[in-house]
Structure 1
Amino acid sequence: MNRSLINNASILVASDNKSDASIVQKLLSTDYPNTKTTIGLDQASNDFAQYQPEVLVLAFKELEKSERYCLGLHRKNPAIQMHSHRTVVLCNKDEVRDAYTLCREGIFDDYTLFWPMTVDSFSLPMSVHLALCAQARREDDMPTSADFATQVRRLATLEKMLTDQLAKGNKRIEAFEQAVTHATNHSSSTFENFSQRLIKGNLEDIVNVKSLDKLQLELERLKRDAFETPLHTLAQSTDPLKQWTNEFYQTNNTHLQSLRKLNTLANSIQPALLVVDDDKFQHKIINSILKEENYNLIFATKGYEVFNIVRDTRPDLMFIDVMLPDMNGIEIVKQIKASSRFAEIPILMITGESKKNIILESHKAGAADIIVKPFIHNIFLEKVKSLLENP
């Protein structure tokens, strides 16, 4: 990890009080000289776009103000949501539990007890340092175990696909052989009929036979050379192909065994499913439907929680309610699909109304499918499995 890159990282301190922001900036500037401040929500959007911070420090004396500010910032500038950064929130001693909960819920990444300022002046710089380290690991964009498992699960279908294709190939070989047999029988019958008519003198107005024995010899040779031998050679031409299909699994059995073992390992890694719905009763319903499946369910109730969760966990599948209290679900889909890092994540929209415009807008935004509440158990399961297997 490059220490100079971390020390030169961009830090943005946001507050509603210029004096408070200056105190935090002074504290951080010793280790992080590229620390800027922004005051007020109106200016923050422009400053965020200009400085593109790796870490956003929320220096508000009330936690509720930090939460409201973060939501307003996301609403004001949707592009911020997909800019990769970490958020550290400052709190007072009476709000530590709430700050911890909000971080656990993915609204913020970390918190620091700061108001009133304590003797531990290094607590905040340490939080920023850890945030930058986490950000650096995130920016490395190394595949996670979930990414690996997803790709292996897709490979797991390879054996079935090969089996199906070989079965189709064998059917086509059989059909070809049947066609050759039919052609051989038909040609033999036709030629035999012609030969008998010729031998019996039924064609004496066309052919004058002087030697019946020689005619029979010539006809036998013609039958052999013109029909039987070529058709027999044609029939035998499928033998190498049949041999290849029979030997295929023996030759590749070691590789297929490795693929099966990889699939077993992949199945031990739970696919991450992010459910975004402000109705916690829906969380319980989805959890009850999927409880028997090998899924890691992550829940969010607010739209702006989604982006931190997506950046940190990169879920394998997302369920997003169309109507959320703070954001429109379709707008969230557009932001996720606009990011090259997350565009491939399949999204299943949740709605209480099957209106045509909602369906059209959801698909246009990039959603893979839509499902209407109340959920039908089997249909819900089928959609989930289908999107995980064929995102």
Structure 2
Amino acid sequence: MNHDARILVASDIIADAGLVRKLLSEEFENVAVSTEPDRSVQDFERCKPQVLILAFDTLEKAERYYLGLYRLSTLIHALPHRTLILCNKDDVRRVYALCKKEHFDDYILFWPMTHDTPRLPMAVIHALRQMTDAGADGPTVRELAVQARRIAELESQLARYATTGGLHVELANRSLQQAGQEIGAALEGFSRKLSGGELRDVVEIKDHSGFQREIERLKMDEIGKRFEAAAEAVEPLTLWIDSIEEEFAPQVAAVRELQTLAAQVRPVVLVVDDDEFQHKLLGRILAELELELIIATSGTEALGALRRRRPDLVLMDVNLPDIDGIETTRRLKSVGQLAAVPVIMITGRSEKNVVVESLKAGAADFVVKPVDRDVLLSKVRSFLGIA
């Protein structure tokens, strides 16, 4: 028996809720029911179910109940759970379409009751397994892809550093040569002054040819050899810089492969707007970035989508038909795993209070309607780290 699994059966008919609970009781110990409409939110937040079973006799009732939870509950969007809907044969096609759009997670042809009663607990078991997999620690594929894109410039950076290092070494060698020449010229000048008697009050030279030989020896043996040693000390650095490309070839090849794999993972952008024209407009503007767009037409639908998919960016309209964009953003940011997802508010209003409240809710930026193509692309590229 699954002792820890939390299951909530919701229905407006007490007998139906009791029936479903009885079917699950042999497999699951912690099955609660919610049958009073006025207590639906309280029941959900008290139970905190991992699996919610909508056991209503019509699809309309199930949709109305679930949408009501998203409008009124401050917890549902932050609570990971799977939603199973029990339907009749007349609603199968519509329920299938809703599950395909991820409004619900799974459905069971249940009304009227069939002989396949094990299908219900088996669906719950599958849902719990999905919950376990989804809750496993570790980065998502898209999070890894983002990091892969950030290190994609490693190859060009190595080339730039090698070029810059080579220039510095060349400059150092030239400086050494110039310093040697200047010191040699200074010694020659000093020798001429002494040989010409300009410094006779300071130094008297008795053997001019011997003095000149000593100057030459000093230039060759003392100064020259030290400059040669300095130049030889720089030579290994030159060889090391020249070998960078070869030394890092395996790592660079791995980066290229990682970049190729990252390019296959498209960033996910959630567009929240109730205007179909805006969906098409934003889709056309963003098409060149090859993103995966998820469309939500209301705050409730957006919160439901966020429960199932973690986008890389959210484009949030301020004016929505149920929960406004500011409140939706506030609820999104209250969820730990979603708090880092940037939200760009899209609004036809630029009043100061809208801007202030959006920023307080956690919005990262704004785009004002009518949307400027270049401005939107620039902001999206920036937040997604796309070159």
Q: Specify the TM-score bucket, using the shorter chain as the normaliser.
A: 0.7 to 0.9
Which residue of the other structure, out of 132, 136, 139, is the alignment partner of 1:136? Answer: 132
Going from structure 1 to structure 2, the CA distance change for 1:222 and 1:145 (only over 3 Å counts) comes to: same
What residue number does 2:290 align with?
Answer: 294
Q: How does 1:37-116 map to 2 (within 5 A)?
A: 37-40=33-36, 43-116=39-112
- TM-score, reference length from structure 2: 0.84
State the shift of 1:117 in Å: 4.3
CA contact (8 A) 1:13 1:25 kept: yes
Question: In the alignment, is residue 126 of structure 1 matched against residue 122 of structure 2?
Answer: yes
Tell me which amino acid in the other structure corresponds to 2:302. Answer: V
What residue number does 2:313 align with?
Answer: 317
Q: How does 1:253-268 map to 2 (within 5 A)?
A: 253-268=249-264
Q: How does 1:324-339 map to 2 (within 5 A)?
A: 324-339=320-335
Deviations 1:203-241 (A, max 9, x none): 233333333233323333444466444344334433222
CA contact (8 A) 1:320 1:329 kept: yes
Going from structure 1 to structure 2, the CA distance change for 1:225 and 1:388 (only over 3 Å counts) comes to: farther
2-structure distance, mates of 1:238, 1:321: 61
Gapped regions of structure 2 (runs ≥ 5): none
2-structure distance, mates of 1:138, 1:26: 28
Deviations 1:246-275 (A, max 9, x none): 112122323322332332233233333322
1-structure distance, mates of 2:80, 2:185: 78
Which residue of the other structure, out of 208, 212, 219, is the alignment partner of 1:216? Answer: 212
State the shift of 1:284 in Å: 0.7
Question: In the alignment, is residue 165 of structure 1 matched against residue 161 of structure 2?
Answer: yes
Going from structure 1 to structure 2, the CA distance change for 1:135 and 1:156 (only over 3 Å counts) comes to: same
1-structure distance, mates of 2:239, 2:29: 71
Which residue of the other structure, out of 357, 367, 371, is the alignment partner of 1:371? Answer: 367
1-structure distance, mates of 2:75, 2:84: 19
State the shift of 1:386 in Å: 3.2
State the shift of 1:130 in Å: 2.5
Question: In the alignment, is residue 348 of structure 1 matched against residue 344 of structure 2?
Answer: yes
Gapped regions of structure 1 (runs ≥ 5): none
1-structure distance, mates of 2:161, 2:340: 27
State the shift of 1:137 in Å: 1.9
SS at match of 2:157: helix
Q: How does 1:156-195 map to 2 (within 5 A)?
A: 156-195=152-191
CA contact (8 A) 2:159 2:245 kept: no
Question: In the alignment, is residue 275 of structure 1 matched against residue 275 of structure 2?
Answer: no
SS at match of 1:111: strand
Higher mean alpha-carbon deviation, 283-292 vs 170-179, is at: 170-179
State the shift of 1:46 in Å: 4.1
2-structure distance, mates of 1:170, 1:47: 70
CA contact (8 A) 2:173 2:231 kept: yes
What residue number does 2:248 align with?
Answer: 252
What residue number does 1:31 align with?
Answer: 27
2-structure distance, mates of 1:102, 1:329: 23
Deviations 1:132-156 (A, max 9, x none): 2222221234655444444433332
- TM-score, reference length from structure 1: 0.83
Going from structure 1 to structure 2, the CA distance change for 1:237 and 1:104 (only over 3 Å counts) comes to: same
Going from structure 1 to structure 2, the CA distance change for 1:292 and 1:194 (only over 3 Å counts) comes to: same
2-structure distance, mates of 1:235, 1:337: 60
2-structure distance, mates of 1:378, 1:294: 16
> Root-mean-square deviation (CA), in Å?
3.3
Tell me which amino acid in the other structure corresponds to 1:302. Answer: S
State the shift of 1:277 in Å: 1.8
Going from structure 1 to structure 2, the CA distance change for 1:306 and 1:199 (only over 3 Å counts) comes to: farther
1-structure distance, mates of 2:154, 2:338: 25
Tell me which amino acid in the other structure corresponds to 2:52. Answer: L
The number of residues matched between the two structures is 387
SS at match of 1:314: coil
2-structure distance, mates of 1:178, 1:351: 61
SS at match of 2:242: helix
SS at match of 1:33: strand
SS at match of 2:299: coil
